[in-house]
Amino acid sequence: MTASEYILYSMITKTTMIWIACIVFLVVITTKAMAHDTIADKVNTWATNEKEKTIAYQKESWADSKEQLGRTWNSIKSLFNKKAQ
What pLDDT digit, counting tens, does each position of 4-22 carry? 888 888 888 999 999 999 9
Which residues 6+ apart lie within 8 Å of 43 measured at CB?
none
Among candidates 6, 26, 24, which has minimal Cα distance to 14? 6
CB 45 within 8 A of CB 37: yes
- Cα 28 to Cα 25: distance, rounded to the nearest angstrom: 5
Q: What is the pLDDT of residue 34?
A: 61
CB 9 within 8 A of CB 1: yes
Q: Which residues of the chain have pLDDT under 70?
A: 32-37, 83-85
Query: Which DSSP helix (H) or strand (E) runs through 32?
Result: helix 3-33
pTM for this predicted structure: 0.44
Q: What is the pLDDT of residue 33?
A: 58
Q: Where are the domains of the chain?
A: 1-35, 39-85
